[in-house]
Structure 1
Amino acid sequence: MNNEEILTNVRRIIGEMCPLGAREAGPDERIMEDLGYDSMAVVELALVLEAEFELEPIEEEQAIDLVTVRDVAELVEHMVSARA
C-alpha cells in the first residue's frame, strides 16, 4: 500500500467515524476542532486504524501530536513502513 492509498483510507475512516456525522475528511482538517472528535473518539479511531492497517498499538506519546487528518495518515505511513 503506497502513501496515497494510506491517506485515502485514513480520510475515509476518519470521515465515516466523524462524531459530527459521516463526511469527507480533508487532509488539513483538524481532528478535534474541525471534526468534533473527543478523547474517547480518538481512542476508538486508533483501535480501528490499528485493525485496518495491522499496526502495533498506537502509543499515547505518538497520538499526542496528531492534529490533522494528514498527521494521522503520516503516522500510519511511518508505522506501516517500519514493519516492512
Structure 2
Amino acid sequence: MSNESTRAKVREIVGEMSPSGKRDVAPADLLVEDLGYDSLAVIELSLQIESAFGLRSMSQGTVPDITTVQDVEELVVQALATPIDAA
C-alpha cells in the first residue's frame, strides 16, 4: 500500500468514526475541536486503525501528541515503515 493510499484509508476511518458525523475529513482537521473526538473515542480510533492496518499496539505515549488527522496519518505511515522487531 502506498503512503497516499494509507493516508486516504486513515482519513476514511477517521471520518467514519467521527463523533461529529463529519465524513469528509481533511489532514488539518483537529480531532477534538473539529471532529468531536474525546479521549475514549481516540482510543477506539487507535484500536480500529490497528485492526485495519494489522499493526501492533500503537505506542500509548504518542497518542496524547495526536491532535490532527495528519498526525494520525503520520503515525500510521511511520508504524508501517518500522520493522516489527524495531517497534
TM-score, normalising length from structure 2?
0.91
Q: Following superposition of structure 1 onto structure 2, how do residues 7-46 of structure 1 map, counting pairs within 5 Å?
A: 7-46=7-46
Moved over 3 A (4+): none
8 Å contact from structure 2 (residues 22, 35) kept in 1: no
Identify unmatched segments of 5+ residues in structure 2. Answer: none
Identify unmatched segments of 5+ residues in structure 1. Answer: none
Equivalent residues, number: 84
Q: Following superposition of structure 1 onto structure 2, how do residues 1-84 of structure 1 map, counting pairs within 5 Å?
A: 1-83=1-83
Identity of aligned residues (%): 43
TM-score, normalising length from structure 1?
0.94
RMSD across aligned positions (CA): 1.2
User: C-alpha separation between the residues in 2 aligned to 1:5 and 1:18?
Assistant: 20
